[in-house]
């Protein structure tokens, strides 16, 4: 489909990354009977573009290899988790085009099992209750170069540990008073094996289990066991969990789990000018730097959807990025390029004027209008045409006129003839200025023989302008988005909030759009000819239209690629 020398190359073939190779090899060798993957978000925020990579990988593998993919909420920290996030995550995974069927699970469904397994570890002499204060415990953990020190409680008897752990569960102790730790090795080179915490006391209500529990398993203790309970064959996660794998394997080796999942790590998605960390995204929302999780400047799926990004565009982007083990940063231009390509193929064209300048056609009768046919999508003839009204008074883009044009300016200026898209050739005869000397109106004539935009005598014009008709254009507000951060590596200077782009949102009012745009559904993108892709915002009302710019037309990715080749 795409030649190798095009700006979009190279595109990895689906099914040709190292995770899929492992899955295929496991099937071929009969090591697994079928493929079971899962996407395991913690419901402490909205999903972002990075999660889309993980979702496409896990659900994609399940689809391609005839297996299934679970959606499992890793809801082990009630302090940060909310029902709103549980709901939004489900909505976003569905929107992205994936379906978990009946396989919706929660780590909290396994709290009772996880508790029993914790007692199992205590009985085996592999876990103990520790009452060392948190900061002391941290100091006793040692460093990468120094071994840790054993806590005084490490040698408590099994009976004493069981008694203390049961009282922890019963609510006998205040928050943070005690923890349950695995008894592994305080001198282990891998810090994750230095007696990690399995349970902590949190007197906090949980979105699903309410106040049934006041001790909660840590993510590390719950995660792998949840995979085992569900019979996950390939536990796919990001590279930062590579060092946790020995711990997960230790649990699996020491607990009566029904299955032995294997973990494989891949590189997180990073994008220039973009922050993909829920912690920081949460700060942006809480502190009001954005209007909410679905602010169209946010890299969340909800934000991108509101902005008009189609799910197919996100999937295509993720496919092009591929799956690798080396961390890297993807150019934002590559994201926009993928979105633009998908929108270009699928969206209809409309005309909208961002900064209107009135144009009056002097040789057109007052009051007469004509209906012309405008092509909906030159890339797709099946999209048909639509009627547009033409008349004596129209509006063009202020930028498309210059009174004193430089030589390379091919648009309208005094004495110059241009084509109005789908309509006629017009020639500018004179300009009207206000008292400040600003041009407020162009007086033009049109050539009736050029209807549809072609001249019968083969006369050429250099410029073709979009326009709207004064007779039926509708006023609209346009929201133009720029990057939320002003530097490609937000936070690299130490203060990420200082890197916020003060010009991330530009609001244009008094724009004029074709009447056909009044009925466009919220979130559905169209191309405003020569301006970019736009979609109606949920704030849009029939008498106060509001559009978001999804992405502009100018493709800097093609330039980036061309530059690399020239080197």
* Site of interaction with ligand ATP (CB under 6 A): 40-42, 50-51, 53-54, 237-238, 268-269, 276-279
Nearer to ligand ATP, 50 or 67 (CB): 50
Minimum CB distance to ligand ATP, residue 492 (Å): 17
CA 219/CA 175 separation, integer angstroms: 18
* Cα separation values, 394 from 254, 401, 422, 437, 471, Å: 77, 14, 13, 21, 8
Nearer to ligand ATP, 274 or 548 (CB): 274
Q: For residue 395, what are the β-bridge partners?
A: 358, 468
Minimum CB distance to ligand ATP, residue 350 (Å): 35
Minimum CB distance to ligand ATP, residue 174 (Å): 28
Nearer to ligand ATP, 183 or 305 (CB): 305
The residues assigned a catalytic role are 42, 268, 278
Nearer to ligand ATP, 218 or 380 (CB): 218
* Cα separation values, 524 from 192, 228, 310, 520, Å: 47, 41, 8, 7
CA 303/CA 522 separation, integer angstroms: 13
CA 112/CA 108 separation, integer angstroms: 8
Minimum CB distance to ligand ATP, residue 467 (Å): 43
Nearer to ligand ATP, 67 or 356 (CB): 67
Report CA dihedral (353, 358, 360, 366) to the nearest 10 degrees: 90
Q: For residue 477, what are the β-bridge partners?
A: 546
DSSP codes of every residue in 47-66: -BHHHHHHHHHHHHHHHHTT
Give the H or E element holding residue 516: none
Of the chain, the end-to-end C-alpha distance in Å amounts to: 26
Q: Are the CB atoms for 422 and 453 separated by under 8 Å? A: yes
Minimum CB distance to ligand ATP, residue 277 (Å): 4
Q: Which two tokens stand for residue 351?
A: 């005309």
Minimum CB distance to ligand ATP, residue 66 (Å): 22
Q: Are the CB atoms for 316 and 342 separated by under 8 Å? A: yes
DSSP codes of every residue in 119-156: HHHHHTT-EEEE---HHHHHHHT--SSS-----GGGG-
Minimum CB distance to ligand ATP, residue 236 (Å): 7
Nearer to ligand ATP, 304 or 450 (CB): 304
Please calculate the CA angle 238-240-246 and round it to the nearest 5 degrees.
100
Beta strands in 11-56 (DSSP E): 36-39
CA 328/CA 383 separation, integer angstroms: 39
Identify which of 302, 351, 365, 395 has the alpha carbon closest to the alpha carbon of residue 49: 302
Nearer to ligand ATP, 322 or 356 (CB): 322
- Cis, peptide link before residue 252, omega less than 30° from 0: no
Nearer to ligand ATP, 50 or 296 (CB): 50
Nearer to ligand ATP, 54 or 464 (CB): 54
Minimum CB distance to ligand ATP, residue 395 (Å): 44
CA 87/CA 90 separation, integer angstroms: 5
Nearer to ligand ATP, 121 or 237 (CB): 237
Q: Are the CB atoms for 391 and 475 separated by under 8 Å? A: no
3-state secondary structure of 197: strand
Q: Which two tokens stand for residue 425?
A: 């050739």
Minimum CB distance to ligand ATP, residue 333 (Å): 18
Neighbours of 544 (CB within 10 A): 12
Minimum CB distance to ligand ATP, residue 334 (Å): 15
3-state secondary structure of 308: coil
The pairing of beta strand 262-266 with beta strand 439-447: unpaired
Closest residue to ligand ATP, judged by C-beta, is 50
CA 335/CA 420 separation, integer angstroms: 33
CA 444/CA 440 separation, integer angstroms: 13
């Amino acid at each position: 489909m795409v030649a190798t020398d095009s700006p979009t190359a190279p595109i990895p073939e689906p099914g040709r990354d190292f995770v899929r190779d492992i899955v295929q090899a496991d099937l071929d060798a009969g090591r697994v009977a079928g493929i079971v993957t899962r996407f395991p978000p913690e419901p402490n925020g909205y999903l972002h573009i990075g999660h889309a990579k993980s979702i496409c990988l896990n659900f994609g593998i399940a689809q391609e290899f005839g297996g299934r993919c679970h959606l499992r909420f890793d809801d082990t920290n009630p302090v940060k988790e909310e029902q709103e996030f549980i709901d939004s995550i489900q909505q976003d995974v569905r929107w992205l085009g994936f379906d978990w069927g009946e396989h919706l699970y929660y780590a909290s469904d396994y709290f009772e099992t996880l508790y029993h397994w914790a007692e199992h570890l205590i009985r085996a002499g592999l876990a103990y209750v520790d009452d060392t204060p948190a900061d002391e415990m941290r100091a006793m953990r040692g460093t990468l170069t120094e071994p840790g020190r054993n806590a005084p409680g490490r040698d408590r008897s099994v009976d004493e540990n069981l008694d203390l752990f049961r009282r922890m569960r019963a609510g006998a102790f205040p928050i943070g008073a005690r923890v349950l730790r695995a008894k592994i090795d305080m001198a282990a080179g891998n810090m994750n094996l230095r007696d990690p915490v399995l349970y902590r006391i949190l007197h906090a209500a949980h979105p699903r289990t309410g106040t049934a529990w006041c001790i909660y398993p840590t993510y590390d203790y719950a995660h792998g066991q949840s995979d085992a309970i569900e019979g996950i064959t390939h536990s796919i996660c990001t590279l930062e969990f590579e060092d946790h794998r020995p711990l997960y394997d230790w649990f699996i080796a020491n607990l009566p789990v029904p299955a032995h999942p294997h973990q494989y790590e891949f590189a997180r998605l990073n994008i220039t000018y973009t922050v993909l960390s829920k912690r920081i995204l949460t700060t942006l929302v809480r502190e009001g730097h954005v209007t909410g999780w679905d602010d169209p400047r946010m890299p969340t799926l909800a934000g991108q959807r509101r902005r008009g990004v189609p799910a197919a565009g996100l999937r295509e982007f993720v496919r092009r990025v591929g799956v690798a083990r080396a961390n890297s940063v993807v150019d934002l231009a590559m994201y926009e390029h993928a979105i633009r390509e998908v929108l270009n193929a699928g969206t209809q064209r409309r005309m909208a004027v961002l900064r209107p300048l009135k144009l009056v056609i002097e040789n057109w009768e007052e009051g007469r209008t004509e209906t012309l046919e405008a092509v909906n999508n030159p890339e797709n003839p099946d999209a048909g045409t639509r009627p547009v009204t033409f008349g004596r008074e129209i509006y063009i883009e202020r930028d498309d006129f210059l009174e004193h044009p430089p030589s390379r300016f091919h648009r309208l200026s005094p004495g110059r003839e241009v084509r109005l898209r789908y309509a006629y050739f017009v020639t500018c005869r004179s300009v009207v200025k206000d008292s400040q000397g600003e041009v407020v109106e162009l007086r033009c004539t049109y050539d009736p023989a050029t209807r549809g935009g072609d001249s019968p005598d083969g006369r050429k014009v250099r410029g073709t302008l979009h326009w709207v008709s004064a007779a039926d254009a509708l006023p609209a507000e346009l929201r133009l988005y720029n990057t939320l951060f002003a530097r490609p590596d937000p936070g690299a200077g130490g203060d990420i909030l200082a890197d916020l782009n003060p010009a991330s949102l530009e609001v244009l009012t008094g724009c004029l759009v074709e009447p056909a745009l009044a009925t466009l559904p919220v979130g559905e993108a169209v191309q405003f000819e020569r301006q970019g892709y736009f979609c109606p915002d949920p704030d849009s009302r029939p008498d106060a239209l509001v559009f978001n710019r999804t992405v502009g037309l100018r493709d800097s990715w093609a330039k980036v690629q061309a530059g690399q080749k020239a080197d």
